[in-house]
């Protein structure tokens, strides 16, 4: 299943909060791995990027970008 980047948060804490929000609303989301911030080991805790399966992208955008 292909994943797409849906959002890049200001910091890792906000990204984690948004992943949890999406998950509670039924959208399978996870943090991406950013080599620049996570070091050589690719630790996702340093990531600001939120990934979702392609077929959930529209639903995730509606949740994250609704006024």
Cα–chain center distance at 44: 10
Q: In this structure, is residue 56 part of a structural domain?
A: no
Angle 57-65/12-24 helices, nearest 10 degrees?
Answer: 120
* Residue-number span of the structural domain to which 9 is assigned: 1-35
Q: Is residue 64 part of a domain?
A: no
For β-strands 3-8 and 30-31, DSSP reports them as: unpaired
Query: What is the number of domains present in the chain?
Result: 1
Q: Is residue 1 part of a domain?
A: yes
In a domain, 10, yes or no: yes
Other residues' Cβ atoms within 10 Å of the Cβ of residue 19: 21
pTM over 0.85: no
Tens digits of per-residue pLDDT, 12-52? 999 999 999 999 999 999 999 865 544 555 555 678 999 99
In a domain, 9, yes or no: yes
Asked whether residue 50 is domain-assigned, the answer is no
For residue 54, being part of any structural domain is answered with no
């Amino acid at each position: 299943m292909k994943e797409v980047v849906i959002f890049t948060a200001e910091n890792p804490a906000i990204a984690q909060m948004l992943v949890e929000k999406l998950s509670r609303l039924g959208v399978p989301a996870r943090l991406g791995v950013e080599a620049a911030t996570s070091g050589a080991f690719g630790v996702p805790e340093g990531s600001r990027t939120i990934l979702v399966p392609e077929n959930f992208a529209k639903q995730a955008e509606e949740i994250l970008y609704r006024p």
